[in-house]
Structures are given as C-alpha cells and as structure tokens.
Structure 1
Amino acid sequence: MASAPPSGLPLFYNDIQPLSSSVHGDFVARRKEGAPFLAKAHAVPLTVEEFGLAQRHFPIVFSVGPNAVPLALMGLNEGVNMFVDDDGKLTSDVYVPAYVRRYPFMLAKLQQNSEELSLCFDPTADAIGQGGEGDALFVDGQPSDATKAILGFCEQFEQAGQRTAAFMKELTDLKLLIDGEVAIQPEGAAQPFVYRGFQMVSEEKLRELRGDQARKLIQSGALALVYAHLFSLSLIRDLFGRQMQAGKVPAQQPLVQA
C-alpha cells in the first residue's frame, strides 16, 4: 500500500544537477498548470508542519522499513491517485504537499564528506529549461528573485525535514509504530479488501506510555501530531469509496478452496 521512496534518487526525480549561473544563465522556471509526475503517485512524503492541513484531505500513514517517513495517501493502490487527472491537474480543492511543490528543485550535497547543501534541480523536468517564457533564474549572472524564493522554500523544507526526522525518532524510540492493516467490506463483495504495507501508531501502546514519556510527547508537540495521524485514518474508507466509484479498485482474487 505504501512504501518509502526507492534508494538512490528521491521520489519523482530522474536526475539531479546543481544549478549554476555559468551553465544555466539563460534558464527559466516555467509555470505549469499540472504535475504529470504526480498522476501515478499514490503516496507522497509529508513533513510534520503539514499534518494539520493534510489530515483534512488524506490519510497520513508511515512507510515501512528502518527509516520510516510520514506519507499522505492519495490512493490506496500503486499507480492510483484520486486527486489529480492523467495530466496531473487537481480534480478537487485539496492541499498539495510541499514535497510536490518543491519539485523539480531540491537541496543536495555535492560531496558526501561535506555538510554544505547546494540548490539542484531535475534537468528532465519540463518546468525548467533554456529560454522561452517563465521566471529567469539568473539576472546578470546573479540569482534572480525567483531563484532566491526557490532557495528559501527549499531551505524551509529541509528544516521541516529535520524536525520530521526528530518526530519519527520519538515514535521509534517509544516503539509506538506497528504494522498497519485495514479491511474494508463493500456491500455485495464476497470478501473484504485488505490493505497492508504501511505503519501506524498503536493506540494501545500510546495509552500504555509512562507519565514521563507522555509528558515528553506533549512538550515536544509530538502528541498533537500523533492524534492528527490517528484522526486521518478514518479517511482511508472515504478514499476507498472514491476508488470504488471510479472503478479503480483492483479485482479481488477468488478464495482458494481447500
């Protein structure tokens, strides 16, 4: 159902190249109405700052694996996104995760042994390119206001990512995450649709926390984030209903008879 972005390049990125005035002096950032790269994405990374808004629109779950990240579910099956059309245009008034809005830019280390981050971009994206209409990335060899704004947004995203990592460490240290499972039985179906492959916070383990542990979660602001996640899980059934109505629920495999 949900998994962490594959190793190597981050989700959506096909390549990464540092932005340079000497190489990209005449490049522009083009305004696009849609995000085609999002059309087949069913799960998108979230930062903790987004939980309050995202919980109103998407189920928030956590990826599987040792380095779990929060994810906004935009569909329950691989390749299904119920909030955009085939061109990546929004089909409803919905919150767009910062991870999506950041693309095709990002901050990245150019050298593994350096802590310095440089503004990079995906050269395969058609939202940035040489000449034509758009916001110039450089003016007289210097970063334009548009580039400064992009850099500022990417810096904020990076800082939010660090706070998200700290939140995930809290959940992991307290052993609050468990393997998630949702079973939905539509009327007339021979068997329930079962979704796995994600993690969620265990309400039982949350109730069993010692007083000092719960106090730490409250003081750090993590408890409010946990409840935003838990409240958002009710949207899984709504999302399933939308997929069912759109005919985007995979056919069930027949039960094997003994």
Structure 2
Amino acid sequence: MASAPQPQLPLFYKDLLPLNSRDHADWKAGTLDSAEYLSVTHAIPVTSDEFVDAQRHFPIVFTSGENPLPIALFGLNEGVNTFVGEDMKINEAIYLPAYARRYPFILAKLQPGNDDMSLCFDPVPGLLGKFDEGLALFDDAGQPTEYTQGVLDFCRRFEEAGQRTKLFMEELEKLNILMDGEIAITRGDMPDTPFIYRGFRMVDENKLRELSAEKLEELSKNGMLMLIHAHLFSLNLMRTIFERQLSQGKVPMNAQGEPAAALN
C-alpha cells in the first residue's frame, strides 16, 4: 500500500494512507484510548463553528504571520498540554476540537492539481487493522459500513466548517481589527517578574468599537459579532491555563531562573 503524496503532513499525522476496499476489506477500527498524540501540542486548530463551545475551556487566539488561523490553547508554551495527564488521558470533561476528534482520519488530496479528496488515515497509532474485534470498515460487498460512512461525513463537515472559517478570517482581515497580542501574567511570589506571552494575534477591542453602527449591525446579523465576542471572552482563560501549567510544574524558566514564557 503506497502512502498518499505528503509534502507536509498536518499536525498529529505521521503518515497517510488512502482507505480503500481493496487493501482494507477485512480491516476493523479499534478504540483510540490514548491521548498521547495530543500530549505535546499546546495549540489545536478550531473552526469558527466551534468558538462558542471551545471558549468555555480554552483561550481562542489567532496565529501570527500571513493567513492567520484560529487556535485553542491547551497550554501557553511549546510542547505543553495541560489537559493530558501522565497516563496519556484527558481526565476531565472538556470540549475537544473537531480537528483532534477526527484523528487518525482525514480528507486529503491524493493527486497534485486534482481537487478530489479521499478519506485517508494515519497508520502509526494502529487504530485500524486486521483485528478480531472492532468496527468493520467495509461490508461483504466492499461498500463502506455505517461506521466508515459516519467518519467520512464527519470529515466532510469539518472541511465545510474550514471553508466558513476561512471566510470569517478574511472578513477580520478586511475589517483590519486584528492586532499582535501580548499578555503579562505575574506570580504571587514573583510580582516584579511577569511572564510575557506573545506570538499570537487577537481582535483589537478599540478598533472593534470604532466600527460604524451599520457595520456592527451587519456583523451581528451574520453571526460574526458573536464569534468575535466568544474569542474576546475566552482570553480571560489565559491566566487559568497559566495556573494549570504552574500547578503542574510546566512553566519554563531560563538559565537565570527567570520566566521564559512565549507562545511562539
């Protein structure tokens, strides 16, 4: 089985294989019990459809540089995920972004210049295989089972949400209301040495307030204003994530024993 062309694999994915009834007719899907694939990821992409749910648990910010994308912060430092325990499980009820829930599946383009997308999977975690037990991927006639069709539908909905997110981000850029973000957090025992987090973008509340009443009404009617407010409300969780890192001993310090904080 040849791997699909993969000039750059997406976050989490170590390899990609196209799922097909010829090679995987008798394969089954097991259960992905471990969250190890999330354990060293501090930022997970989210779609605009998920802002309202995600903002209850994570700060939602935007990546820096060109073509910014929304991300949910599971930690404030590279390699730190405060929600995955040492047992490699998420031990509390949180909203897990669809990007992570679809793993190890993904819709991918197999041929350069061809926009057709095929259902692929990452074979590395060993979720799919010739198992004695599990959920069958294809029936005796070689047709996708209800499970496989459900996975395909989920991945399609994710791609559609991605397109809506793209339009949302394009509108934010047109409005010119994004700014480089910075947040300073101090510890009680180090009041004069704040942890400075940069490397992300956020909505500038001042520029948002300066928009015309007509534009604000338009944003309210098309649902964008609600998403912007969800993003802004979620920023209050920056300190919560910081406190989680602190309690877990995951706030890095430099060689001088000073805060070495940064999102980028």
Q: TM-score, normalised by structure 2?
A: 0.90
Partner of 1:81: 81
Moved more, 230-239 or 126-135: 126-135
Which aligned runs of 4 or more in structure 1 are off by greater than 3 angstroms?
Answer: 252-255
- Residues of 2 paired with 1:17 and 1:218: CA distance? 43
- Residues of 2 paired with 1:212 and 1:232: CA distance? 26
Moved more, 164-173 or 209-218: 209-218
The CA RMSD measured in Å over matched residues stands at: 1.5
Moved more, 185-194 or 126-135: 126-135
Moved more, 111-120 or 56-65: 111-120
For the 8 Å contact 1:193–1:252, the answer to whether it is kept is no
- Residues of 1 paired with 2:90 and 2:30: CA distance? 18
Partner of 1:32: 32
What SS class does the counterpart of residue 196 from structure 1 fall into? strand
What SS class does the counterpart of residue 22 from structure 2 fall into? helix
Partner of 2:159: 158
- Deviation string, structure 1 residues 117-175 (Cα, Å, up to 9, x no partner): 11111122222223232111111111111100100111111111111111111111111
Query: Would the alpha carbon gap of residues 216 and 253 (structure 1) be closer, same or farther in structure 2, given more than 3 Å must change?
Result: farther
For the 8 Å contact 1:108–1:118, the answer to whether it is kept is yes
What SS class does the counterpart of residue 158 from structure 1 fall into? helix
Partner of 1:204: 206
- Deviation string, structure 1 residues 45-66 (Cα, Å, up to 9, x no partner): 1011111111111011111121
Moved more, 26-35 or 42-51: 26-35
Deviation at 1:87, TM superposition (A): 4.3
Deviation at 1:216, TM superposition (A): 2.8
For the pair 1:175 / 2:181, whether they are aligned, the reply is no
Deviation at 1:252, TM superposition (A): 4.5
Partner of 1:225: 227
For the pair 1:215 / 2:214, whether they are aligned, the reply is no
Correspondence 1:1-258 to 2 at 5 A: 8-140=8-140, 141-189=142-190, 190-252=192-254, 254=256
5+ residue gaps, structure 1, are: 1-6
What SS class does the counterpart of residue 241 from structure 2 fall into? helix
5+ residue gaps, structure 2, are: 1-6, 259-264
- Residues of 2 paired with 1:17 and 1:32: CA distance? 18
- Residues of 1 paired with 2:122 and 2:99: CA distance? 14
